[in-house]
Amino acid sequence: MSNDGEPTGVGPDQPFWTHAQQLEKTPPCQAQCPNSGDIRGWLGIIAQREKTGLSLEQAYDQAWEKLVNLNPFPATLGRICPHPCESRCSREAKDGAVSINAMERFLGDWGISRELSLPGLGDPTRVESVGVIGSGPASLSFAYQMARRGYPVTVYERRDLPGGMLRHAIPDYRLPRDVLDAEISRVFDMNVALVTGVEIGRDMSLEELRERHTLLFLGLGAQVGRRLGVEGEKGPGVVLGIDYLTQRKQGVRRNLGARVVVVGGGNTAMDAARSARRDGAEVIVLYRRGREEMPASEPEVTDAEAEGIRFEFLSAPLRILRNGTTLAGLEVQRMRLGLRDADGRQRPEPVRGDTCILEADTVLVAVSQEPGWHGVDGDGPGGKWLHTTSDGKLAEDLWAGGDDRGPGIASRAIAQGRLAAEAAHAQLRGEPMPEPWTSRPAVDSAAVKPDYYRDLCRSPAVRRPRDEWLTNPESEIDQTLTSEQACGEATRCMSCGLCFDCRQCFMYCNAAGFTRIQQAGPGRYYALALEACEGCGKCIELCPCGYMESREGSGW
């Protein structure tokens, strides 16, 4: 209805109807999650447990099971994921986003403490054998999804332990080893064999493996750190951040000296900086753009600052300065943000004549990582990224996922492994591809009504005292939510786009068009008799979560 001009005159035989219908929609958290996690689904099981007659334990168990359907590593991701899901939470403007990441961690820890097994899908054991190269999140996600569909899986890992970057790069203070071990071992409790110490292109050729298995998945990662390419870089004192982190995880302590400069603004740069700080150095981070543009997650940056790490934004290394061969420091070029490039990011450009000198004993370079495998696609170290179809297919029997397809967060790697498994399974069985979650419409943010919901503050993260962070350097800073906090957080979910039994449609429909479903559960509480609808639209307006909406061609 336009607000200007006279209303159009139409006959009374065309009354203004808006027939209602129930339609599940994609909530913003799921839309933002690279793995399209059913966050609303597993939070709903906990929040609505009393309506469905579940005890708290049963609810946690079922929520965990729903969660691990898509992500077999909730305790891990609940610690390291930068949780883009929380960025668009409908609750944000009311009293803060739901602590989805902390909830994932809570459920992950719950699953570990209860020694829950990853759920199979009841499929028969199949004959097609599956090989997986690499054992990072993408590979293990693929292995898990294939194993639960009945395929025997063998994972080949060049190191002695599986886990990829999760195990070899992420510092213990962010991800304790026992947590990772517990979650990874669950995958190998299924019909998944592990062969370690085998590197493709060195110990075994790709063709050999293709012969051995019906289907092969490449989760090779991108473990070679990129160098700066500036004068003086070659020589002692300049170390790749990823190498430093990997060695540190293996227990190799490198003498960094008192002053460390970290170059880069991603999460690897943050891990390197904070690890160096734990090793006793004064740390400065150089980043060529501003704080807003940093790819590292905001809490990581804040915590790094709290630990005494200094940030030099809009600064890029110009050359490495040496006293003979000994590292002396770097010359820094000041930058400013210029024109936007094709991605819409402002390109940093040097401010002519504005340079300075930073003294340093070690420079940690953490600007980017590249593929570094042998024997695939004929490339040597620093080879090309793999270019697959959107579901990860390289050839009929060859699939890939993870950082070998381009750098990304762990959640994206897990998603790629899962989607490849779903597609590979459909191909092997000659079945149609499963319906993608994106086929459901997104929730219209205007249809969600935060003022309906009770005010409930976001549970504050429980953290170890600030002064213990560096004195006890390998202990986790963040603690897991208590069960009470977890229940509270689950209740905060507004269930955008799916019925959670607020009862208003049922209660206020003038025509009594809604009946309660006997076997009720999240998303299934009321049936609407379409023929009873009187078209007033009240249920649509009342529905606080945007589940009710107008039927096509009926007014508004």
Position among 159, 440, 503, 524 found at the interface with other proteins (CB under 8 A): 503
Q: Which helix (H) or strand (E) holds 156?
A: strand 153-157
Q: Looking only at residues 41 through 100 of this chain, which bind other proteins when binding is defined by CB under 8 A?
A: 50-51
Contacts of 272 (CB under 8 A, 6+ apart): 241, 244, 245, 262, 264, 364, 366
3-state secondary structure of 274: helix
Q: At closest approach, how far in Å is the CB of 490 from other proteins? A: 12
Does the protein bind other proteins through residue 467 (CB under 8 A)? no
Position among 156, 506, 526, 547 found at the interface with other proteins (CB under 8 A): 506
Position among 194, 316, 366, 502 found at the interface with other proteins (CB under 8 A): 502
Q: Output the CA angle 126-128-129, nearest 5 degrees.
A: 110
Does the protein bind other proteins through residue 445 (CB under 8 A)? no
- Cβ-contact 366, 225 below 8 angstroms: yes
Cβ distance to other proteins smaller for residue 3 or 323? 3
Interface stretch with other proteins, choices 105-113, 226-234, 369-377, 530-538 (CB under 8 A): 530-538
Position among 229, 255, 323, 454 found at the interface with other proteins (CB under 8 A): 454
Distance, in Å, from the CA atom of 32 to the CA atom of 29, rounded to the nearest integer, reads: 5
Q: At closest approach, how far in Å is the CB of 516 from other proteins? A: 10
Q: Looking only at residues 382 through 411 of this chain, which bind other proteins when binding is defined by CB under 8 A?
A: none
3-state secondary structure of 524: strand
Contacts of 491 (CB under 8 A, 6+ apart): 47, 456
Distance, in Å, from the CA atom of 50 to the CA atom of 386, rounded to the nearest integer, reads: 48
Starting at the earlier edge strand, list the strands of the sheet with 310-312. Answer: 238-240, 362-365, 259-263, 282-286, 310-312
Distance, in Å, from the CA atom of 350 to the CA atom of 101, rounded to the nearest integer, reads: 38
Cβ distance to other proteins smaller for residue 8 or 125? 8
Does the protein bind other proteins through residue 3 (CB under 8 A)? yes
* Residue 324, φ and ψ in degrees, nearest 5: 70, -125
Distance, in Å, from the CA atom of 149 to the CA atom of 42, rounded to the nearest integer, reads: 22
- Cβ-contact 317, 228 below 8 angstroms: yes
Position among 126, 536, 550, 554 found at the interface with other proteins (CB under 8 A): 536
Contacts of 420 (CB under 8 A, 6+ apart): 142, 217, 391, 392, 393, 399, 400, 401
Interface stretch with other proteins, choices 92-100, 107-115, 438-446, 449-457 (CB under 8 A): 449-457
Cβ distance to other proteins smaller for residue 347 or 524? 524
Q: At closest approach, how far in Å is the CB of 546 from other proteins? A: 13
Cβ distance to other proteins smaller for residue 112 or 548? 548
Does the protein bind other proteins through residue 10 (CB under 8 A)? yes
Position among 93, 351, 395, 512 found at the interface with other proteins (CB under 8 A): 512
Position among 535, 550, 551, 554 found at the interface with other proteins (CB under 8 A): 535
Position among 57, 354, 444, 534 found at the interface with other proteins (CB under 8 A): 534
Does the protein bind other proteins through residue 501 (CB under 8 A)? yes
Does the protein bind other proteins through residue 504 (CB under 8 A)? yes
Q: At closest approach, how far in Å is the CB of 536 from other proteins? A: 4
Please tell me the count of residues contacting other proteins according to CB under 8 A.
Answer: 36
Q: Output the CA angle 103-107-112, nearest 5 degrees.
A: 145
Cα four-point dihedral sign 468, 473, 476, 477: positive
Does the protein bind other proteins through residue 150 (CB under 8 A)? no
Cβ distance to other proteins smaller for residue 462 or 507? 507
Does the protein bind other proteins through residue 444 (CB under 8 A)? no
Position among 93, 252, 357, 507 found at the interface with other proteins (CB under 8 A): 507
Q: String of b and e for 2-24 (b: at least 16 CB within 10 Å)? A: eeeeeeeeeeeeeeebbbbbbee
Interface stretch with other proteins, choices 259-267, 400-408, 419-427, 495-503 (CB under 8 A): 495-503
Distance, in Å, from the CA atom of 62 to the CA atom of 522, rounded to the nearest integer, reads: 12
Does the protein bind other proteins through residue 12 (CB under 8 A)? yes
Position among 193, 328, 527, 542 found at the interface with other proteins (CB under 8 A): 542
Contacts of 270 (CB under 8 A, 6+ apart): 285, 296, 300, 301, 304
- Cβ-contact 2, 383 below 8 angstroms: no
* Residue 136, φ and ψ in degrees, nearest 5: -80, -175
Distance, in Å, from the CA atom of 234 to the CA atom of 174, rounded to the nearest integer, reads: 31
Distance, in Å, from the CA atom of 256 to the CA atom of 240, rounded to the nearest integer, reads: 12
Does the protein bind other proteins through residue 6 (CB under 8 A)? yes
Cβ distance to other proteins smaller for residue 12 or 465? 12
Does the protein bind other proteins through residue 452 (CB under 8 A)? yes
Cα four-point dihedral sign 422, 426, 427, 428: positive
Interface stretch with other proteins, choices 275-283, 349-357, 448-456, 474-482 (CB under 8 A): 448-456
**Structure tokens, 543:** 């529905």
Position among 202, 236, 510, 529 found at the interface with other proteins (CB under 8 A): 510
Cβ distance to other proteins smaller for residue 143 or 502? 502
Interface stretch with other proteins, choices 14-22, 97-105, 200-208, 225-233 (CB under 8 A): 14-22
Q: Site residues (CB under 8 A) for other proteins? A: 1, 3, 6-16, 50-51, 451-452, 454, 491, 501-504, 506-508, 510-512, 534-538, 541-542
